[in-house]
Structure 1
Amino acid sequence: MKFPNDTDGNALHSLYKDGLDLKKQQSIDFFVAVPNKATGEKLSQVLKAEGFNCFLEQDDETEEWVCCCSNRMLLNYNELIKIQNKLNDLSKPLGGFSDGWGVFVD
Protein backbone atom coordinates (compact mmCIF):
# COMPACT_ATOMS: atom_id res chain seq x y z
CA MET A 1 0.00 0.00 0.00
CA LYS A 2 1.32 3.48 -0.88
CA PHE A 3 1.02 6.57 1.28
CA PRO A 4 1.87 10.23 0.60
CA ASN A 5 5.31 11.33 1.76
CA ASP A 6 4.28 13.75 4.52
CA THR A 7 3.54 13.62 8.23
CA ASP A 8 0.05 12.18 7.82
CA GLY A 9 1.11 9.69 5.18
CA ASN A 10 4.04 8.57 7.30
CA ALA A 11 1.78 8.06 10.32
CA LEU A 12 -0.64 5.98 8.25
CA HIS A 13 2.23 3.94 6.83
CA SER A 14 3.52 3.26 10.33
CA LEU A 15 0.07 2.15 11.54
CA TYR A 16 -0.29 -0.08 8.48
CA LYS A 17 3.14 -1.65 9.09
CA ASP A 18 2.14 -2.27 12.72
CA GLY A 19 -0.80 -4.31 11.46
CA LEU A 20 -3.71 -1.91 11.96
CA ASP A 21 -6.61 -2.83 9.66
CA LEU A 22 -7.20 0.36 7.63
CA LYS A 23 -10.43 -1.11 6.26
CA LYS A 24 -11.97 -1.11 9.73
CA GLN A 25 -13.39 2.06 11.32
CA GLN A 26 -11.35 3.49 14.17
CA SER A 27 -11.96 6.19 16.74
CA ILE A 28 -9.67 9.01 15.60
CA ASP A 29 -8.73 11.85 17.94
CA PHE A 30 -8.04 15.22 16.33
CA PHE A 31 -6.27 17.88 18.35
CA VAL A 32 -6.86 21.62 18.06
CA ALA A 33 -4.46 23.89 19.93
CA VAL A 34 -6.10 26.93 21.54
CA PRO A 35 -4.53 29.90 23.32
CA ASN A 36 -6.49 29.55 26.59
CA LYS A 37 -9.36 27.85 28.39
CA ALA A 38 -12.00 30.46 27.49
CA THR A 39 -11.19 30.17 23.79
CA GLY A 40 -11.22 26.40 24.06
CA GLU A 41 -14.69 26.46 25.62
CA LYS A 42 -15.99 28.67 22.79
CA LEU A 43 -14.38 26.47 20.16
CA SER A 44 -15.74 23.30 21.78
CA GLN A 45 -19.26 24.64 21.29
CA VAL A 46 -18.54 25.46 17.63
CA LEU A 47 -17.08 22.01 17.03
CA LYS A 48 -19.94 20.24 18.79
CA ALA A 49 -22.39 22.13 16.55
CA GLU A 50 -20.42 20.72 13.59
CA GLY A 51 -20.95 17.17 14.85
CA PHE A 52 -17.65 16.55 16.61
CA ASN A 53 -17.45 14.89 20.01
CA CYS A 54 -14.96 17.03 21.86
CA PHE A 55 -13.57 17.96 25.22
CA LEU A 56 -11.08 20.50 26.46
CA GLU A 57 -7.93 19.63 28.35
CA GLN A 58 -4.75 21.24 29.55
CA ASP A 59 -1.37 19.54 29.20
CA ASP A 60 0.11 18.97 32.65
CA GLU A 61 3.68 19.69 31.54
CA THR A 62 3.33 22.54 29.03
CA GLU A 63 0.06 23.96 30.46
CA GLU A 64 -1.14 24.46 26.86
CA TRP A 65 -4.83 23.99 26.09
CA VAL A 66 -6.21 21.67 23.43
CA CYS A 67 -9.64 20.68 22.17
CA CYS A 68 -9.70 16.95 21.57
CA CYS A 69 -12.25 15.96 18.96
CA SER A 70 -13.10 12.40 18.11
CA ASN A 71 -14.65 10.92 15.03
CA ARG A 72 -15.28 7.27 14.15
CA MET A 73 -14.10 6.69 10.59
CA LEU A 74 -11.80 4.80 8.28
CA LEU A 75 -8.19 5.88 8.39
CA ASN A 76 -8.21 7.46 4.94
CA TYR A 77 -5.54 10.01 4.06
CA ASN A 78 -7.83 12.34 2.10
CA GLU A 79 -10.48 12.31 4.84
CA LEU A 80 -7.89 13.00 7.53
CA ILE A 81 -6.64 16.02 5.58
CA LYS A 82 -10.19 17.22 4.92
CA ILE A 83 -11.10 17.09 8.62
CA GLN A 84 -7.87 18.81 9.70
CA ASN A 85 -8.51 21.58 7.16
CA LYS A 86 -12.07 21.96 8.46
CA LEU A 87 -10.80 22.15 12.05
CA ASN A 88 -8.30 24.81 10.96
CA ASP A 89 -11.02 26.83 9.24
CA LEU A 90 -13.30 26.65 12.29
CA SER A 91 -10.61 27.36 14.88
CA LYS A 92 -8.55 30.03 13.12
CA PRO A 93 -10.99 32.90 13.85
CA LEU A 94 -10.62 32.05 17.56
CA GLY A 95 -6.82 31.82 17.46
CA GLY A 96 -6.62 28.03 17.30
CA PHE A 97 -5.15 25.59 14.82
CA SER A 98 -5.31 21.91 13.98
CA ASP A 99 -2.45 20.17 15.74
CA GLY A 100 -2.54 16.59 14.48
CA TRP A 101 -4.44 13.40 15.11
CA GLY A 102 -4.02 10.05 16.76
CA VAL A 103 -5.65 6.68 17.10
CA PHE A 104 -5.58 4.31 20.06
CA VAL A 105 -4.16 0.97 18.98
CA ASP A 106 -4.69 -2.13 21.14
Structure 2
Amino acid sequence: MQFPDDDNGKMLAAMADAGIDLTKALDVDFFLVFDDQRDAESAAEELTKSEMEGEMELHLNDDVGKWELIVCVNMVPDYSAIVEQEVELNSFAGEFGGATDGWGVMQHQEGDDEFADDEHECSDDCKH
Protein backbone atom coordinates (compact mmCIF):
# COMPACT_ATOMS: atom_id res chain seq x y z
CA MET A 1 0.00 0.00 0.00
CA GLN A 2 1.36 3.43 -0.96
CA PHE A 3 0.78 6.58 1.08
CA PRO A 4 1.72 10.23 0.50
CA ASP A 5 5.02 11.37 2.03
CA ASP A 6 3.59 13.54 4.81
CA ASP A 7 2.76 13.04 8.50
CA ASN A 8 -0.62 11.44 7.77
CA GLY A 9 0.84 9.13 5.14
CA LYS A 10 3.68 8.11 7.43
CA MET A 11 1.26 7.34 10.26
CA LEU A 12 -0.92 5.21 8.00
CA ALA A 13 2.12 3.39 6.61
CA ALA A 14 3.32 2.64 10.15
CA MET A 15 -0.11 1.32 11.05
CA ALA A 16 -0.17 -0.91 7.96
CA ASP A 17 3.36 -2.14 8.72
CA ALA A 18 2.20 -3.00 12.25
CA GLY A 19 -0.50 -5.24 10.81
CA ILE A 20 -3.51 -3.02 11.42
CA ASP A 21 -6.25 -3.62 8.86
CA LEU A 22 -6.85 -0.19 7.33
CA THR A 23 -9.92 -1.40 5.43
CA LYS A 24 -11.96 -1.72 8.62
CA ALA A 25 -13.44 1.07 10.73
CA LEU A 26 -11.31 2.06 13.73
CA ASP A 27 -11.74 4.58 16.52
CA VAL A 28 -9.57 7.49 15.39
CA ASP A 29 -8.72 10.13 18.00
CA PHE A 30 -8.30 13.69 16.70
CA PHE A 31 -6.58 16.12 19.07
CA LEU A 32 -7.69 19.75 19.30
CA VAL A 33 -5.70 22.09 21.55
CA PHE A 34 -6.68 25.36 23.18
CA ASP A 35 -4.76 27.81 25.36
CA ASP A 36 -7.85 28.86 27.29
CA GLN A 37 -10.12 26.55 29.28
CA ARG A 38 -13.26 28.55 28.44
CA ASP A 39 -12.50 28.34 24.72
CA ALA A 40 -12.01 24.58 24.98
CA GLU A 41 -15.25 24.16 26.95
CA SER A 42 -17.17 26.30 24.46
CA ALA A 43 -15.80 24.22 21.57
CA ALA A 44 -16.75 20.99 23.33
CA GLU A 45 -20.25 22.30 24.01
CA GLU A 46 -20.72 23.39 20.39
CA LEU A 47 -19.38 20.09 19.07
CA THR A 48 -21.85 18.23 21.30
CA LYS A 49 -24.69 20.17 19.66
CA SER A 50 -23.44 19.41 16.15
CA GLU A 51 -24.29 16.42 14.01
CA MET A 52 -20.80 14.96 14.35
CA GLU A 53 -20.95 11.45 15.68
CA GLY A 54 -18.30 10.31 18.10
CA GLU A 55 -17.10 10.64 21.65
CA MET A 56 -15.26 13.54 23.24
CA GLU A 57 -12.94 14.02 26.16
CA LEU A 58 -11.65 17.33 27.48
CA HIS A 59 -8.71 17.67 29.85
CA LEU A 60 -5.70 19.82 30.65
CA ASN A 61 -2.54 18.39 29.10
CA ASP A 62 0.01 19.17 31.81
CA ASP A 63 2.93 18.33 29.48
CA VAL A 64 2.17 21.25 27.17
CA GLY A 65 0.00 23.39 29.44
CA LYS A 66 -2.91 23.44 26.99
CA TRP A 67 -6.47 22.22 27.05
CA GLU A 68 -6.92 19.18 24.86
CA LEU A 69 -10.22 18.16 23.32
CA ILE A 70 -10.01 14.60 22.00
CA VAL A 71 -12.64 13.80 19.39
CA CYS A 72 -13.00 10.07 18.73
CA VAL A 73 -14.54 9.22 15.35
CA ASN A 74 -15.21 5.65 14.21
CA MET A 75 -14.09 5.60 10.59
CA VAL A 76 -12.12 3.69 8.00
CA PRO A 77 -8.66 5.31 8.26
CA ASP A 78 -8.42 6.26 4.60
CA TYR A 79 -5.85 8.98 3.81
CA SER A 80 -8.31 11.39 2.19
CA ALA A 81 -10.92 10.84 4.91
CA ILE A 82 -8.33 11.55 7.63
CA VAL A 83 -7.19 14.74 5.88
CA GLU A 84 -10.79 15.87 5.33
CA GLN A 85 -11.66 15.29 9.00
CA GLU A 86 -8.52 17.14 10.14
CA VAL A 87 -9.28 20.15 7.92
CA GLU A 88 -12.88 20.27 9.15
CA LEU A 89 -11.86 20.01 12.81
CA ASN A 90 -9.05 22.56 12.40
CA SER A 91 -11.48 25.06 10.93
CA PHE A 92 -13.93 24.34 13.76
CA ALA A 93 -11.23 24.66 16.47
CA GLY A 94 -10.02 27.92 14.91
CA GLU A 95 -13.42 29.48 15.62
CA PHE A 96 -12.62 29.02 19.34
CA GLY A 97 -8.95 30.01 19.24
CA GLY A 98 -7.70 26.43 18.95
CA ALA A 99 -6.12 24.16 16.36
CA THR A 100 -5.78 20.49 15.58
CA ASP A 101 -2.70 18.71 16.86
CA GLY A 102 -2.64 15.40 15.03
CA TRP A 103 -4.50 12.14 15.38
CA GLY A 104 -3.93 8.56 16.43
CA VAL A 105 -5.51 5.22 17.18
CA MET A 106 -5.28 2.88 20.11
CA GLN A 107 -3.07 -0.04 19.17
CA HIS A 108 -5.52 -2.83 19.96
CA GLN A 109 -8.96 -2.43 18.46
CA GLU A 110 -11.48 -4.79 17.00
CA GLY A 111 -10.21 -5.75 13.57
CA ASP A 112 -6.49 -5.61 14.26
CA ASP A 113 -6.08 -9.03 15.89
CA GLU A 114 -2.89 -9.72 13.96
CA PHE A 115 -1.14 -6.79 15.62
CA ALA A 116 0.94 -7.81 18.59
CA ASP A 117 4.01 -6.26 20.11
CA ASP A 118 5.01 -8.80 22.74
CA GLU A 119 8.46 -7.29 23.17
CA HIS A 120 7.21 -3.78 23.95
CA GLU A 121 7.88 -2.51 27.44
CA CYS A 122 5.97 0.57 28.52
CA SER A 123 7.91 3.67 29.52
CA ASP A 124 7.02 7.19 30.61
CA ASP A 125 6.93 8.17 26.92
CA CYS A 126 4.16 5.70 25.97
CA LYS A 127 1.01 7.25 24.57
CA HIS A 128 -1.34 4.32 25.32
Q: TM-score, normalised by structure 1?
A: 0.94
Distance 1:91 1:64 in 2: 13
Task: Give 2:104's aligned amino acid.
Answer: G
Shift of 1:46: 1.8
Query: Is the counterpart of residue 55 in structure 1 residue 37 in structure 2?
Result: no
Structure 1 alignment gaps of length 5 or more: none
RMSD: 1.1
Shift of 1:47: 1.7
Structure 2 alignment gaps of length 5 or more: 109-128
Identity %: 27
Shift of 1:36: 1.6
Runs of 4+ in structure 1 over 4 Å off: none
Shift of 1:89: 1.1
Match of 1:89 among 88, 91, 106: 91
Task: Give 2:38's aligned amino acid.
Answer: A
Between structure 1 and structure 2, the one with the greater Rg is 2
Task: Give 1:100's aligned amino acid.
Answer: G
Q: TM-score, normalised by structure 2?
A: 0.78
Say whether the 8 Å CA contact 1:43–1:91 is kept in structure 2. Answer: yes
Task: Give 1:21's aligned amino acid.
Answer: D
Task: Give 1:59's aligned amino acid.
Answer: N
